[in-house]
Amino acid sequence: MVFVRAGNRLMQFVCALPLLGVLAACGGDGGEAPSTTVQTGMVSGQVVSASNNAAVAGATVITTAGSATSAANGSFTVAAAVGDRAVVHVEATGFAEAFPVARVTEGQTTNLRVRLLPTGVVTPVTIATGGIVTVPNSTARVNLPADGLVPKNGGAAAGTVNVAVTPINPAIDVNLMPGDFNGISSGGGSPAPIESFGALLIDIRDNSGTRYALAAGKTSTIRIPLGTRSLAPPDTIPLFFFDESIGLWKEEGTAILQGTAPNRYYEGTVTHFSYWNADRRSETVFISGCVRDANNQPVPNLLVETNGTNYSGKDFAVTAADGTFRVGMRRDSMATLSAIEFNLQTFTITPVTNVVNVGPSLVDFTVPDCLVKGAIPVTITTSALPGGIVGIAYNQTLAAAGGTPGYVWSLNAGSGPLPVALSLNPSGVISGVTTTVGTTIITVKVTDSVGGTATKQLSLTISPVGAPVAITSPSLLPAGTVGSAYSTTLAASGGNGALSWSFVSGALPGGVMLTSTGQLSGTPTTAGAFSFTIQVQDSGTPQQSNQKQFNLTVNSGPDPGTLTVTGAPANLNIGEAFTPNPQLTRKTQNAATFSIEWQEGSTSPNHLESLLLSGNPTDDLQEITFLFGDRGAAGILFCRSSVNVPSINPCLGLTVNRLAGTATFVNTVLVRDTGPIQSITLNGTLRFTPF
């Protein structure tokens, strides 16, 4: 069960199943040597970087039955022992290790897409003195005792080791966490679902690559950054470490919540190094349902998933021969329900049914209608073709999504021709070596396995051999200020075709993002000196790239000011209007929530929490959120009113007059007709000190 409620994440996992797609996670610290097994199946897929989905070549993939090395396009195939929890160890230079867990069937192939997270900060530490390792722009920290490290497998110790600390944020993307969010409690027993509130990988090696562990009798204090969508993270939480030999989390110790928002963290003491996770056990309800195709026939062996909407978590199940399934979600919560498939052409997970909103519920339930495979029409997802170079082999695979996979590609009737000596095969691969310079417009067509089609016009430019791509911007970037908008555009020369920029390593200032066009922009939230490496890549075939380290200083900003909200009734009846009445000091990334709850059978609500306003000190208010609940036999019903939060559908609008110091709102909140609440009108004026 994949249930997460956390704020910091890393790798990607989805329980692997025969002939179905899996998104892999990163795992613990170490791996078993391959051993021979009689019954085996195959594991096949692709290794990519979690930062930009670029293929990772040269990654080592190891199971107990064999090993392989990923090819230039990241693909691999390796034998694996038959079983429900075959652990696949994936490791590549510059990335955190991955340990996806796969279900392997004899004579069949399990498909994996393994996303490797770039290694976090690496700090040299002298063993004799120990030290504290921190991560820029994070509360992550590891305290190493003096004379506290020894080679993990014995032998003489080096004087200095390299300590890699990588925080994990599962609230951003649950697919980036190691394992499948099942854990074993300290007292033993069967694996059970857990929720994560943040995790941390600690990997220590010397210059020869030898791993290090804590010496006998030594301990280390670690800080795991809190990352959660929960309004009330627990003050004390169990710690779990990831056991890569079985692909499960194991409880060991506790951690205490410390710090002040937004820089809160769990601090605890550990006796060994691995992936460490701040978790609590999750309560689960199960959804029963079915999947049918467009002809109303049951669809077996299809992966069905739930994805939390008011919690960060997922769960997975496979449809039976009659198309039925039973899949979990967090109790008393909401999620989306859909079915997905693994696209063997693009190594991606593709939704193949309609998406249904489910929950909240306190008990197991059945969805009234079957999911329909093929309800999503086939579309061509390739947005543009990279350019090619005269005399150099060109190879590009087209991609599609939706419909019923089993895609066949061709040039559409009336399309312009491909460049001389290039061809498109039925698998969607455009390849060949051309000697002609110029731009060609073609129209490609994809047909799915049930006859659905889609077409798209694309241009392909073949260029002469060009100069190597190079970054020309100076290493020292213009300084920024906390709370003030920042923007600078990086420059490069050479290469062929369009240039694409990406982040490689280091740390960008909080609030600042890099676009693919080379623009660094945003509103910095943290002062300090930041160093990071950026890459530019052209779109020729083969592609050329260049990397450069940059330095950016962010200076402190002005006082963020204060916010006062006035006028509110003590209680509110259905259909009435209200204005909230809390007060708070407005700070960067300030956050809180105003919540109203109706007890079952009551005609008026009780105020639960104060109003939440969030934003930054130099811009308009960015979000006002109202959370409503009907806690009774129908469960809890939620509705949010938001601004600039694309992932949440606003009920109605909000107007902010920053100069006048007011924010007005008029909203009619409609809730599902499954409980006593029908609708409620929200309106009022929030007054704050202009700044």
Q: How far apart are CA 469 and CA 383, in angstroms?
A: 23
Query: What's the rounded mean pLDDT across residues 270-297?
Result: 91
CA angle 65, 67, 69 (to 5 degrees): 160
Contacts of residue 26, Cβ cutoff 8 Å, sequence gap at least 6: 10, 11, 96, 97, 98, 99, 116, 117, 168, 176, 178, 201, 275
Among 228-237, 315-324, 482-491, name the most confident range: 315-324
Q: How far apart are CA 536 and CA 540, in angstroms?
A: 12
Beta bridge partners of 267: 223, 256
Give the pLDDT band (50/70/90) at residue 666: low
In this prediction, residue 636 carries a pLDDT of 29
Q: Domain 2-116 adopts which CATH fold?
A: Immunoglobulin-like (2.60.40)
Query: What's the rounded mean pLDDT across residues 164-181?
Result: 80
Query: What's the rounded mean pLDDT across residues 473-500?
Result: 85
Share of the chain above pLDDT 90, in %: 29
2-116 and 121-281: identical CATH topology: no
Query: What's the rounded mean pLDDT across residues 499-528?
Result: 86
Domain 379-463: assigned CATH number: 2.60.40.10
Q: Is 426 exposed, middle or buried (0-12, 13-18, 19+ CB in 10 A)?
A: exposed
Among 382-391, 471-480, 605-614, 644-653, name the most confident range: 471-480
Q: Is 454 exposed, middle or buried (0-12, 13-18, 19+ CB in 10 A)?
A: buried
Among 109-113, 566-570, 634-638, name the most confident range: 109-113
Top pLDDT among 364 and 495 is at 364
The answer to whether residues 394 and 430 touch, using CB atoms and an 8 Å cutoff, is yes
Instruction: At 203, list the tokens.
Output: 């990997």
CA angle 24, 26, 32 (to 5 degrees): 100
CATH class of 284-372: mainly beta
Provide φ and ψ at 593, rounded to 5°: -140, 140
Least confident interval from 62-66, 387-391, 587-591, 674-678: 587-591
Instruction: At 87, list the tokens.
Output: 């652990």
Peptide bond into 360 cis (omega under 30): yes
Amino acid letter for position 607: H
In this prediction, residue 379 carries a pLDDT of 86
Give the pLDDT band (50/70/90) at residue 367: very high
In this prediction, residue 662 carries a pLDDT of 60
In this prediction, residue 267 carries a pLDDT of 96
CATH of the domain spanning 470-555, picked from 2.30.42.10, 3.30.590.10, 3.60.21.10, 2.60.40.10: 2.60.40.10
The answer to whether residues 554 and 528 touch, using CB atoms and an 8 Å cutoff, is yes
In this prediction, residue 129 carries a pLDDT of 92
Over 80: is that where the pLDDT of 655 sits? no
Query: What's the rounded mean pLDDT across residues 413-417?
Result: 90
Radius of gyration of the chain (CA): 27
Q: What is the largest CA-CA distance in the chain?
A: 78
Instruction: At 512, list the tokens.
Output: 């600042």
- For the chain, the domains span 2-116, 121-281, 284-372, 379-463, 470-555, 563-687
Query: What's the rounded mean pLDDT across residues 464-478?
Result: 85
Over 50: is that where the pLDDT of 384 sits? yes
In this prediction, residue 135 carries a pLDDT of 86
Q: How far apart are CA 211 and CA 209, in angstroms?
A: 6
Query: What's the rounded mean pLDDT across residues 588-596?
Result: 36
Query: What's the rounded mean pLDDT across residues 226-250?
Result: 86
In this prediction, residue 25 carries a pLDDT of 31
Classify residue 156 by its DSSP letter. P
Least confident interval from 177-181, 350-354, 661-665: 661-665
Give the pLDDT band (50/70/90) at residue 140: very high
Nearest to residue 243, comparing CAs of 280, 276, 282, 278?
A: 276
In this prediction, residue 641 carries a pLDDT of 38
Q: What 3-state DSSP class applies to 174?
A: helix
Q: pTM for this one? A: 0.52
The answer to whether residues 111 and 75 touch, using CB atoms and an 8 Å cutoff, is no
Number of H helices, E strands in the chain: 0, 59
Over 70: is that where the pLDDT of 10 sits? no
Q: How far apart are CA 89 and CA 521, in angstroms?
A: 37
Over 50: is that where the pLDDT of 156 sits? yes
Top pLDDT among 493 and 562 is at 493
Least confident interval from 26-40, 435-449, 492-506: 26-40
Query: What's the rounded mean pLDDT across residues 272-293?
Result: 91
Least confident interval from 68-82, 174-188, 229-243: 174-188
In this prediction, residue 490 carries a pLDDT of 92
Over 50: is that where the pLDDT of 24 sits? no
The answer to whether residues 610 and 584 touch, using CB atoms and an 8 Å cutoff, is yes
Instruction: At 215, list the tokens.
Output: 């010496």
Q: Domain 121-281 adopts which CATH fold?
A: Chondroitinase Ac; Chain A, domain 3 (2.60.220)
Q: Where are the beta strands (DSSP E) in 467-527?
A: 470-471, 480-481, 486-489, 492-493, 500-506, 512-514, 519-522
In this prediction, residue 558 carries a pLDDT of 53
Give the pLDDT band (50/70/90) at residue 277: very high
Give the pLDDT band (50/70/90) at residue 683: low
3-state secondary structure 569-605: CCCCCCCCCCCCCCEECCCCCCCCCEEEEEECCCCCC
Share of the chain above pLDDT 70, in %: 72
Over 80: is that where the pLDDT of 241 sits? yes
Over 50: is that where the pLDDT of 64 sits? yes
Average pLDDT, the chain: 75
Query: What's the rounded mean pLDDT across residues 216-228?
Result: 92
Over 60: is that where the pLDDT of 239 sits? yes
